[in-house]
Structure 1
Amino acid sequence: MSAYEIVKYSHASIGALALIAFWVAAFARKGSPLHVGVGRVYLVTMAAIVATALPLVAVRFAKGQFVTGAFFVLLLSLVATACFVAWTAIRHKRDWHRFTGRGYRALMLSNFAAGTAVTVLGTIYSRWIFVAFGVFGAKLGWDMWKFLREETKAPNWWFVQHYQAMIGNGIATHIAFALIGLPRLFPDASTGVLTYVGWLAPLAIGITTQYVLDRKYVKKTAAVRRTAPAAV
């Protein structure tokens, strides 16, 4: 077995563990020892997925697959951001300045730059899945910049950042399962239509879930900002 195959199968095995950990943490009572413990395991496995994906992406560039390579760079940036934000939002929930330090700003720029580049490349080469994820990445970078510029933060900012990041991780985990795990279990089901579903369905479900949660929690954040001066 070659070094490339070892990395590839390690990447897939860690991904399977991440999928299991995601759902265990999701169903566990929030804040419970099980939720915290399994959540840490999940974030560690996601970090390992990013690490093992780096040589796989490098191989794409080495083969001259620059458009696909750029797309995977964007995916790595998105996953790295989700892991970083999910972890640091809890760790620095009482220190917004540490949360939005150099790591946060570097990932903000990475998402915006990679998302914009992939959107342009996807449009040029009519790769519409690339366009969808490119727009998503660029918007994430823009949203991170807006959050950075906000002068007043509501008390629950860290909770909002945490669940939004975990939704992003969930999108990545389920896309990987739909496009790598399912075709191995059901080889005959790997058609063009199902490939699009595998890419876009987790993205659509994740965005919808975030919209519902944002209406519940971010609305409270806005109310706190509006009433803060009067309260003072």
Structure 2
Amino acid sequence: MAWLFDAFRLLHIAGGFLALFTFWIPLVTVKGGRTHNRSGWFYVYCMGFVALSALYMGVYRIFLDPSADESLIAFSWFLIFIAVLSSASAWYGLRVLRIKSRRAPHRGLRDLGFSLLLFLSGIAVCVYGFRIGFPLLQYFPLIGIVLGAQQLYYWRSVPKTRRHWILEHIGAMMGCCIATITAFTVFGAPRLLGVSSVSIILWFLPTIVMVPLIIAFSRHYRNKYNPPA
């Protein structure tokens, strides 16, 4: 099983790097254009594999690795939460486009279930983080709680703004990117820098940078499609 874990880890790293570099292409290209769509789907496929491999590695460390200590188990729970956050955000970002013409509250069990899973897993990991005194698990899952609650509110409410799906799509994909970059800073950056640990500020830096970007992009497109009277 160790060789399979190592293989998944290498593929996980490769998929993460591809997703990280591809993400910026659909962000800056014409929305709905050929380049935007192709690069966007490539990003989604990469993130799908990244999420599945992260889930496998996290479960392996927690339940199948007898040498895993408390610190490694804590990081493994973080890895599992990253898998939930990235996959739920990507799924939401796709689904808001598929059913953009809805005029009533959405009742799709898959969509509501994925958003509810993100919300509840955020609460569970946050509680676990406070129980073991691990700051990364104490505060980072708040992103999942907020995003999960926002997604549930969107699904169960009637859209009232023009092209609301674009705002939700951009926010979801940028939220997915937060998961990718944070995972890199937590697991990849220390190895590339050759250090055993980094400041917790570095762990939260992607969130500190990306959240204002999400707000700025959302405000830009909200004003573009729904200009104030």
Q: Give the TM-score normalised by the residue count of structure 1.
A: 0.83
Cα separation, partners in 2 of 1:213 and 1:123, compared to 1, 3 Å: same
Matches within 5 A, 1:78-157: 78-95=85-102, 101-157=108-164
Cα separation, partners in 2 of 1:191 and 1:223, compared to 1, 3 Å: same
Cα separation, partners in 2 of 1:120 and 1:176, compared to 1, 3 Å: closer
In the aligned structure 2, how far is the partner of 1:26 from the partner of 1:172? Answer: 16
Cα separation, partners in 2 of 1:223 and 1:116, compared to 1, 3 Å: farther
Q: Give the counterpart letter for 1:9 in structure 2.
A: L
Contact 1:60-1:68 within 8 A present in 2 as well: no
Residue of structure 2 equivalent to 1:17? 18
Q: What is the CA deviation profile of residues 23-49 of structure 1, one whole-angstrom value per residue up to 9, with x for unaligned ones?
A: 232332332211111111000110111
Residue of structure 1 equivalent to 2:179? 172
In the aligned structure 2, how far is the partner of 1:43 from the partner of 1:98? Answer: 26
Instruction: Report the CA distance between 1:177 and its aligned residue.
Output: 2.8
Say yes or no: does 1:76 pair with 2:83.
yes
**Gaps spanning 5+ residues in structure 1: where?**
228-232
Instruction: Report the CA distance between 1:96 and its aligned residue.
Output: 6.2
In the aligned structure 2, how far is the partner of 1:40 from the partner of 1:124? Answer: 39
In the aligned structure 2, how far is the partner of 1:152 from the partner of 1:39? Answer: 24
Contact 1:89-1:99 within 8 A present in 2 as well: no
SS at match of 1:31: coil
Task: Please say which of residues 34-43 and 104-113 is displaced more in the overlay.
Answer: 104-113
Contact 1:70-1:114 within 8 A present in 2 as well: no
Q: Give the TM-score normalised by the residue count of structure 2.
A: 0.84
Instruction: Report the CA distance between 1:78 and its aligned residue.
Output: 0.9
Cα separation, partners in 2 of 1:198 and 1:223, compared to 1, 3 Å: same
Residue of structure 1 equivalent to 2:4? 3
Q: Give the counterpart letter for 1:26 in structure 2.
A: L
